[in-house]
Amino acid sequence: MKRSILFDTETTGLDPATGDRVIEVAALELVDDLPTGECYHVLIDPERDIPEEASRVHGFKREDLIGKPKFAEVADGFLTFVGNDPLIAHNARFDFNFMNAELEACQRPILSAARMVDTLEMAKKRFPGLPNSLDALCRRFDIDLSARTTHNALLDCKLLAEVYLELMGGRQRGLGLVDQRGGGGSAVYQRDPARKPRVMAPPSPEECAAHEIFVDGLKDPIWLR
């Protein structure tokens, strides 16, 4: 099984080099590209003010974070959760830069760029020239955005997990199969009883005629037996 970690941050601004800090970190565990339900989530006291323009994005004000742990207090918990597995994020360099600035400041190991999986780069290759923000991708893949009134690291992770799955090829939902593991660990696939059968439109006269022409060109076609 392949384990990976999908994560997101919220910050006081755009650049850790000018003193901006991380205020929220969320991470979801994926196994074979599917969420397991295991997650890491923490709010952090940035030990500084939060500009109004940043608050408009994520909804957090300075008073909301007073009394929350400092980054140095949560760093080890984050590193333990992510382990050595690949790290998935949307516009991943932004999150890596902020996390590494915080980790370096509290003398913890930084995140290697070799672990980086950037869903923004994946989306740009698949949809060149189109908007590829998280919101745009959710709309493109018909993923419900109704709960996303502001940026929220944990909610954004859950949305990104669905987007990432689609970017990796999707669940092939149309097959309607359920993976049921037997006692020996083998997979038994059954039709999902919750899935409604799709109503197929009857073929048009033109399609029927084209099929007859195709069949006539075959040697001993099974349709005529």
Is there a catalytic annotation at residue 90? no
Residues 148, 135: contact at Cβ < 8 Å?
Answer: yes
Would the annotation count 10 as a binding residue? Answer: yes
3-class SS string, the chain: CCEEEEEEEEECCCCHHHCCCEEEEEEEEEECCEEEEEEEEEECCCCCCCCHHHHHHHCCCHHHHCCCCCHHHHHHHHHHHHCCCCEEECCHHHHHHHHHHHHHHCCCCCCCHHHEEEHHHHHHHHCCCCCCCHHHHHHHCCCCCCCCCCCCHHHHHHHHHHHHHHHCCCCCHHHCEEEEECCCCCEEEEECCCCCCCCCCCCCHHHHHHHHHHHHCCCCCHHHC
Q: Cα separation of 45 and 156, whole Å?
A: 20
Task: Pick out the residues of the known binding site for a divalent metal cation.
Answer: 8, 10, 156
| Residues with catalytic function | 151
Task: Pick out the residues of the known binding site for substrate.
Answer: 8, 10, 53, 58, 156
